[in-house]
Amino acid sequence: MASAAFLNEITGTAGVSVDKLSAALHIPKSELAIAAGLSRDAVSKAARSHSVTTQSRLREMSEIINRVIPWAGSELAAYAWYRSQPLPSFGDATAEELVRQGQGEKVRAYLGRIAAGGFA
């Protein structure tokens, strides 16, 4: 599946769908919560899953994974990269660690520089 299709698959009228994102990545909601730096309730309760904070984190995570899909080859490989690849520009923190700390925008900017031919 192409990366544009990934975002279309997981996004609905109310934003990023927790159910669709966890299904696309083949992970339980509890793991999704950890990967996005959210509480379990934030992804399991409908009212909380639509909150600005939850949607912001899910959107950051989804956009980072989406950016990496063409390089990684698949959604699952991109998710593995998100969870485990140390980023030298950030003291070897992973994208997951940075999103959990609320620094997802910095990761997106970093990936944008790399995509444009810049250095890490």
**DSSP sequence for 51-87:** SHHHHHHHHHHHHHHHHHHHHHSSHHHHHHHHHH--B
Domain of 74 in residue numbering reads as: 4-118
User: pLDDT truncated to tens, each residue of the chain (120 aa)?
Assistant: 446 789 999 998 889 999 999 999 999 999 999 999 999 999 999 889 999 999 999 999 999 999 999 999 999 999 999 999 999 999 999 999 999 999 999 999 999 888 888 665
Domains in the chain: how many in total?
A: 1
Indicate the pTM of the whole model.
0.89
Contact partners, residue 66, CB within 8 Å, separation at least 6: 3, 4, 6, 7, 78
Structure tokens at 28: 């339980």
